[in-house]
Amino acid sequence: MHIDLSGRTALVTGSTQGIGAAIAAGLARAGARVAINGRSADSVNSAIATLGGDLPDADLIPAPADLGDADAADALFEQLPGVDILVNNLGIFGATPALEITDDEWRRYFEINVLSAARLIRLYLPGMMERHDGRIANIASDSALVIPKEMIHYGMSKTALLAVSRGYAKEAAGTGVTVNSVIAGPTHTGGVEDFVYQLVDKDLPWDEAQREFMRKHRPQSLLQRLIEPEEIANLVVYLSSPFASATTGAAVRVDGGYVDSIVP
C-alpha cells in the first residue's frame, strides 16, 4: 500500500519530540506539508532542523504555540487558517497518588489534554466540512480504557478525548471528513523513560528497567515491550490517507494488545 499525501497540509500538535515527532516525520515522508508545533520557537526550530536532516525534501512549517491557551490557539489558526489533516497529539502525563491530585492538576490535565484538541477541532472542522475533505486524529491512550491507579487524572483526560472524537465525528457526518481517536499503548519516548524510572529501580539499565516496568505495571501487554513511536505514526498516516475514508468515529487501537478486550 503506497500512501501519497502530496498536496496535503497537516498540523501535528506537540510534535517536537516523541510520538508527535514520529507522526510528523511519517506524514512528511508520505509527501504532506507538515506544521511542527511546540511551546517555544527554539524547540520547534530544533525539531525542524532534526527532521529536515533526515528528510531533506520535507516541507515543514514552524508553528510554535502553547495550545493549552485559547488565545494561542486562535493565533495559530490565524497563521495557518486551513489544514487538511489535524493530529491532536499534545498531552501531558505523570504519576501522582490518587488522593494527592489537586483541583489545579485536574484542571491542568483537562485543559491541555482535552480542551486543546476540542479548540482546534472547533477552529478547523468547519473549513474541512465546507471542502468535504479532511482528516482529524486525536491521540488517546490505553489509559482511557484501563485507568492507571498512579495517574487517574491522565486516564480521565484520555477517556474524555474518546468522547470528543466520537462527538465531532457525528458533527461531520456525511461531509467526507473523518474524525477518529488512536488508542496508543505504552510507548517508548524520553518522557516515558523518566516515568518508568519513577516506578522501578533507578539504577537498572534501560533494557532491564523496561522489562521490569512491563512485568510489574503493564503485565497484560501481549507485545511485552514498549511500542516504538514510529509504530503509532504508521497508523496515523493510514488514518490520514484516502484509504481510511470509511473509518470515522472510531477508537482505533495500536496498543500491543494491552487492552484486554475484543473491541475498545
In this predicted model, what pLDDT tens digit does every residue of 47-94 receive, in sequence order?
A: 999 999 999 999 999 999 999 999 999 999 999 999 999 999 999 998
Is the torsion defined by CA of 95, 199, 229, 48 positive or negative?
Answer: positive
Q: What are 18's three cell numbers? A: 516523541
- The half-sphere exposure of 263 on its side-chain side, counting CA atoms within 13 A, is 1
Q: What is the pLDDT of residues 93-145, one digit of tens each?
A: 988 999 999 999 999 999 999 999 999 999 999 999 999 999 999 999 999 99
Rounded CA-CA distance 167/179 in Å is: 9
Pick the CATH number of 9-187+227-253 from 3.40.720.10, 3.40.50.720, 3.50.50.60, 3.30.450.20: 3.40.50.720
Point out the catalytic residue in the list 109, 124, 154, 258: 154
Name the residue among 178, 2, 173, 151 with its Cα closest to residue 85. Answer: 178
pLDDT for the residue 137: 99
Q: Which residues contact 253 (CB under 8 A, 6 or more apart)?
A: 142, 183, 185, 259, 264
pLDDT band at 189 (very low <50, low <70, confident <90, very high): confident
Angle of helix 18-29 relative to helix 229-239, nearest 10 degrees?
50
pLDDT for the residue 240: 98
pLDDT band at 190 (very low <50, low <70, confident <90, very high): confident
CA distances from 21 to 46, 146, 254 (A): 11, 25, 17
b/e string for 5-15 if b means 16 or more Cβ within 10 A? beebbbbbbbb
Q: What is the pLDDT of residues 138-183, one digit of tens each?
A: 999 999 999 999 999 999 999 999 999 999 999 999 999 999 999 9
Q: Is 124 considered catalytic here?
A: no
The DSSP 8-state label assigned to residue 159 in this structure reads H
CB 11 within 8 A of CB 121: no
Where exactly are the structural domains of the chain?
Answer: 9-187+227-253
Residues paired with residue 138 on neighbouring β-strands, in sequence order: 88, 181
Return mean pLDDT, the chain: 96
Distance of CA 71 to the CA centre of its chain: 21
Helices of type H across the chain: 18-29, 41-54, 70-79, 103-110, 116-131, 152-171, 190-199, 206-217, 229-239
Residue 152's identity, in one-letter code, is: I
Whether 263 has a pLDDT exceeding 90, the answer reads: no
pLDDT for the residue 191: 78
pLDDT band at 226 (very low <50, low <70, confident <90, very high): very high
Q: What is the pLDDT of residues 21-40, one digit of tens each?
A: 999 999 999 999 999 999 99
pLDDT for the residue 195: 83
CB 144 within 8 A of CB 158: yes
Cell numbers 520535507 label which residue?
A: 58
Distance of CA 189 to the CA centre of its chain: 13
Name the residue among 82, 84, 117 with its Cα closest to residue 10. Answer: 84
Question: Cα-flanking dihedrals φ and ψ of residue 132, to 5°?
Answer: 55, 40
pLDDT for the residue 1: 84
